[in-house]
Amino acid sequence: MSAIAATPEPPYYAVIFTSLQSDQLEGYGETAEAMLSLATEQPGFLGIEAAREGVGITVSYWRDLQSIRNWKQQADHREAQRRGRSDWYRAYTTRIAKVERDYSFPNPI
């Protein structure tokens, strides 16, 4: 997933998820991979970027707020969120943001 997401013309939405892991990471890797794969299948999903270096940053891009709400409520994702809070994350912040403008180098995305 080491790529820059190829998103359409704004406006669209970004979910910025910033997290600090706990030291209790059993099951994290396989769930993270499953959730990544599941996210890409959701209606309104546009792309995702992720990196972890101390702090983890995952930015997923969505067509609209309703797509984000639906993904937040998706059953397997809800269970993953529950395990995130009970086991894997010491802290996280989720920010919902409307992308108003973007530009790229060297080419338009």
Nearer Cβ to a second copy (30/106): 106
- Closest distance between a second copy and the C-beta of residue 92, in Å? 5
Nearer Cβ to a second copy (34/97): 97
Give 60's strand partners: 15, 48
- Closest distance between a second copy and the C-beta of residue 61, in Å? 9
Helix (H, G, I), strand (E, B) or coil at 21: strand
CA gyration radius, the chain: 14
Interacting residues toward a second copy by CB under 8 A:
1-5, 7, 10, 14, 16, 18-20, 49-57, 59, 84-85, 89, 91-107, 109
Crossing angle of helices 28-40 and 75-83, in 10° steps, is 150
Helix (H, G, I), strand (E, B) or coil at 82: helix
Nearer Cβ to a second copy (26/53): 53
